[in-house]
A and B are shown apart, each in its own frame.
Chain A
Amino acid sequence: MESMASLTEDSATAGEEQGGVRRRDFINVAAVSFAGVGAVSIVLPLINQMNPSADVLAEASTEVDLSAIQPGQAIKTIFRKQPLFVRHLTPKEVAEAEATPLSDLRDPQTLEDRTKAGKTQWLVTMGVCTHLGCVPLGAAEGEVKGEYGGYFCPCHGSSYDTAARIRKGPAPTNLEVPPYEFTSDTAILVG
């Protein structure tokens, strides 16, 4: 089809009849343009097929049972094929997070902004470092929590505090809080 692209110019010499030249050119241009439109309309589905398919988009929401998580503990689970951290903060950690002045923060947010009302001890965040997407340490038993007592990303040294806010290192923003709701006092539904 591409070879037809230069058809228009040659047809000027092909169509010698003086009166008919313009109308003829028009048909040639139109034929080539239609070929172009057709090619584009075939290319579109070829590109679109790489977008997430319907089964991927039908996000399976994740239900998390909180009853077994003791204060000071955290669990890792999976939401949208990515790690999800659910952390039960101790009163001390809550106090630390609340005591931090917003002016010290790169991405200013209070603990209340990042948790549900009356449930500030439950910190639910994605386990994806906002720098380049590594999984930070600090959720599992015995892992380094970094100098701010929250999470520490081993890839490039980003440190998060007990509200999973970025305090030090290259990460630009706090760990993302996914949409979720409490379905009971001890269970949440993420997504």
Chain B
Amino acid sequence: MSFPWANEYKPSNAFMRYMDEKLPLPRFVYNAVGAGYPVPRNLNYFWNFGVLAGMALMIQIVTGIVLAMHYGADSGIAFASVEHIMRDVNSGWFLRYAHQNGASMFFIVVYIHIFRGLFYGSYKPPREMVWHLGLVIFLLMMATAFMGYVLPWGQMSFWGAKVITGLFGAIPLVGEPIQTWLLGGFAPDNAALNRFFSLHFLLPFVILGVIILHIWALHIPGSSNPTGVEVKSEQDTVPFHPYYTAKDGVGVALFFLLFAVILFFAPNFLGEPDNYIPANPLATPANIVPEWYFWPFYAILRAFTVDFLFIPAKLLGVLAMFASILLLFFLPWLDTSAVRSGHYRPMFRKFFWFGLIPTIVILGYCGGSHATDGIVLISQIASAYYFAHFLIILPIISRVETTKPLPTSITEAVLGNTPANATLQPAE
């Protein structure tokens, strides 16, 4: 599972020796995120975001548990109970704003983590399972975030729930029964709110479980690195602790700094004002928009305006929205280039920075805007590129591209091609 030169765990005292014999949890931690896990020495700051995502999840779980102590999952009192938290509960405003903006922080961090993987080819063998489990986490996060957004029972909560469950109504034949089943009624109400609360509480722990699998799967081949060249010798690695705990410390400090600025000085900047209006089934907000982290997908959903033969546009939009995420599962087989890192793939790199990234930013902008003709037109073109990028361009690039020469080892990439370091040491 690990490299032969990994440090061996040595219990430091009698108690730890006892623990090591009965329940080797300290040894497990030592080998997972301690000095017993050798990591490539050349990781850059983009490799901080896995740890940061884990921390963001913990923030959400902890603040969520305490908020649940005060929240009332009943359509009659849900909105008022959130205001009760904001006004009367000790430090309630802090906990609520932390949870509300913590979700945004979680998505910021996870999106950077995903794009890190996309650029450096982290989805390629032997790490396909890591990538797939990561996508499962992402899907679970989206479900959790959506249901959490319903809980304050504001206008956007209500209409978001209505629109998203309405997507299932687009499925032929079984769509409407499924929609009614999801809501436990014909429109979002108490039944829907209660089940969303229950699942919103459950899913983070499922995510936690999948994260453990994600890390487990990662530890089998070990971490990738910015060159994409596999570890070949001991000098290519450093122990995770203290080297990367120290580096992650810097990332953690920056994460909390950004979090604090948003939480304390602009807590409603990322939110929609409409959600401070109690849910009203008789009045639709002028512009129903999800939270920012769903904007690109929402733009893809709205981009389909024309029926294709017998397939209605609404169903096409729903299919495309799900396809836009699910296609990422096929990435290890779509991008067949043997070179992982975008650094050594000139053509891939151009399409990544000048194609994919701007497309997603544009889709995000369109998804958050009022759907005027112009916005829809732009999101159609951007969505077309999005699908073409992954499904057409990427497979072609990986065949035709001439990649740059790779360094023979990580150490060479870090220290330069000095004779002492150029000699390859085969793994023992």
- Whether the complex brings A and B within 8 Å at their CB atoms is answered yes
A14 within 8 A of B: yes
0 or 1 for each of B64-103: is its CB under 8 Å from A? (1 = yes): 0010011000000000000010011111101100000000
Residues of B within 8 A of A46 (CB): 62, 66, 91, 95
Are A49 and B92 interface neighbours, CB within 8 A?
yes
Question: Does B69 contact A45, Cβ atoms closer than 8 Å?
Answer: no
Rounded to whole angstroms, the CA-CA distance of A48 and B241 in the bound complex is 34
Say whether chain A's binding surface is mostly helix, strand, loop, or mixed: helix
**CA distance in complex: A48, B91 (Å):** 7
Is A68 at the interface (CB under 8 A from chain B)? no
- Residue A51 interfacial (CB < 8 Å): yes
A contact residues around B204 at 8 Å (CB): none
Interface string of A25-68 (1 = CB under 8 A from B): 00000010001001000000110111101111000000000000
- A105 to B: closest C-beta gap in Å: 41
Are B69 and A50 in touch, CB under 8 angstroms?
A: yes
Alpha-carbon gap, A31 to B242, bound state (A)? 13
Inter-subunit contact A31/B91 (CB<8 Å): no
Residues of B close to A184: CB separation below 8 A: none
Interface size range of chain B in the complex: 20 to 34
Partner of B241 from the list A3, A31, A51 (CB cut-off 8 Å) is: A3
Interface hit among B42-50, B105-113, B244-252, B308-316: B244-252
A55-B91 CB under 8 A given contacts A3-B34, A7-B241: no
Name, among B33, B91, B95, B256, the residue most crowded by chain A CB atoms within 10 Å (CB to CB).
B91
Residues of the B chain whose Cβ atoms lie less than 8 Å from the Cβ of A3: 29, 33-34, 241, 245
Does B249 lie within 8 Å of A49, measured CB to CB? no
B39 is an interface residue with CB less than 8 A from chain A: no
Q: Given A3-B245, A10-B242, A31-B249, do A49 and B35 touch, yes or no (CB 8 Å)?
A: no
Nearest residue (CB) in B for A48 is: B90
Instruction: Identify the closest chain B residue to A56 (Cβ).
Output: B88
What is the chain A residue whose CB lies nearest that of B94? A45
Interface positions, chain B 239-271, Cβ under 8 Å from A, are 241-242, 245-246, 249, 252, 256
A25 to B296, CA, bound (A): 47
- Asked whether A10 lies within 8 Å of B35 as measured between CB atoms, the reply is yes
Q: For residue B246, which residues in chain A have a CB less than 8 angstroms away from its CB?
A: 4, 7
CB <8 Å contact, B88 and A45: no
Q: Does A11 sit within 8 A of B, measured CB to CB?
A: yes
| 15 residue pairs A–B, Cβ–Cβ below 8 Å | A3-B34, A3-B241, A3-B245, A4-B249, A7-B241, A7-B242, A38-B256, A45-B95, A46-B62, A49-B66, A53-B70, A53-B84, A54-B88, A54-B89, A55-B84
Q: A3-B33, A46-B62 are in contact. Are A53 and B245 (CB under 8 A)?
A: no
- The smallest C-beta distance from B258 to any residue of chain A, in angstroms, reads 15
Q: Which residues of B contact A50 (CB under 8 A)?
A: 66, 69, 90
Is A1 interfacial (CB 8 A cutoff)? yes
Number of A-B contacts (CB under 8 A): 57
Kindly list chain A residues whose C-beta atoms are within 8 Å of the C-beta of B69: 49-50
B92 contacts which chain A residues (CB < 8 A)? 49, 53
Q: In chain A, residues 98-145, which have Cβ atoms closer than 8 Å to a Cβ of chain B?
A: none
Known A-B contacts A7-B246, A46-B66; the reply to A53 vs B241 at CB < 8 A is: no
Q: Can you list the 8 inter-chain pairs with the closest CB atoms, starting with the nearest? A: A45-B91, A54-B88, A53-B88, A10-B242, A55-B88, A48-B90, A53-B89, A7-B242
Query: Quick one: given A1-B252, A3-B33, A55-B84, are A49 and B245 in contact (CB under 8 Å)?
Result: no
Q: Which residues of B contact A10 (CB under 8 A)?
A: 35, 241-242
Shortest CB–CB separation between residue A42 and chain B, in angstroms? 9
Asked if A51 and B62 sit within 8 Å, CB to CB, the answer is no
Contacts of A54 in B (CB 8 A): 87-90
Using CB atoms, name the residue of chain A closest to B35.
Answer: A10
CA distance A61 to B91 in the complex (A): 26
A86 smallest CB distance to B (angstroms): 30
The answer to whether A7 and B91 have CB atoms under 8 Å apart is no
- Tell me whether A4 and B245 are in contact (CB under 8 A): yes
CA distance A54 to B87 in the complex (A): 8
Residues of A within 8 A of B29 (CB): 3
Residues of A within 8 A of B88 (CB): 53-56
B90 and A45 within 8 A (CB): yes
Q: A3-B34, A50-B90 are in contact. List 10 more A-B contacts (CB 8 A).
A: A3-B33, A4-B245, A35-B249, A38-B256, A49-B69, A49-B89, A53-B90, A54-B87, A55-B84, A56-B88
A49: contacting residue among B33, B91, B252, CB under 8 A:
B91
User: For residues 179 through 230 of chain B, which have their beta carbon under 8 Å from a beta carbon of chain A?
Assistant: none
